[in-house]
Amino acid sequence: MRFAAIDIGNSRVKILSKEHGSVVFPIDELDDTWFDGLRSFIQKHKSPYSWALSSVNSKVEEDIIDMLIEFSPVIIAAEFILNNQTLIDISQVSGAGSDRIFGVIGATNYSKPPFITVDCGTAITINYLDKNSTFRGGAILPGVSTQLRALNQFTEQLPLLLPEYTDLPFGSTTMQAMTVGTLWSAVGAIKEIISRIKSSAGIQSIPIVFTGGEHQLLASALSDMEIISSPNLVLEGILTAQISLPSETDFSQNI
């Protein structure tokens, strides 16, 4: 049995397999071209193939599952994998999204615990795995793009901007002020939360694994921290957990 992972996010669909590598398809609700490209890529994966699926986007999830069923005999829900994996202990948290947990599992390929993962997407999630491989939870805050969209949507005067890096301490124009405020508020929050986790755990230093669509932007503003970068961390976690399941696991339990 060969394995592939698919992660359906709010704005992107990402796929990772050892056979065909990784690919990203931005979701465009006004143009179906992205879906056609996704279908073409999935067709490359020859049966028998086991697909592990994680999703936080119910709007497109059903259509993608229907498409996967055309090409694969086995589709496994992320929840099934999480309920059967033994790589980390998730009993101390409730309601955590599977993307957060799989990101933590993916980070075990880069560092021994304790460590922190920071996933920089529509939301920024900060997640802590302690020295006993127990997932202790973390924090969730708006991503930089989400902040910028909110400023535009809920005001009359502020424009819609794309996130970008600036080392200005303050902005002399409205657009500069928005860029400074959204970028460095996210950076400040990440630093403060990590500092509080270290203080609570009684440790001086801790590996930090960054991922997500905006992780390069935020990592560039955190040059004073030792950061491990992994653009496919959640997918790596899905594959790692899927492959680690006992050989006697019944993979016929499709979605």
Q: Which residues are identified as catalytic?
A: 99
Please tell me whether residue 3 adopts helix, strand or coil conformation. strand
| Cβ neighbours, 10 Å, residue 110 | 15
**114: preceding bond cis by omega (within 30 degrees):** yes
Q: What is the CA radius of gyration of the chain?
A: 19
Distance (Å, whole) CA 125 – CA 139:
6
| Sequence-distant contacts of 187-191: CB under 8 A, at least 24 apart | 187/218, 187/221, 187/222, 189/124, 189/139, 189/141, 190/118, 190/124, 190/126, 190/218, 190/222, 191/222, 191/225
Question: Cα dihedral angle (180, 181, 187, 189), rounded to 10 degrees?
Answer: 170
| HSE of 85, CA atoms in CB hemisphere, 13 A | 29
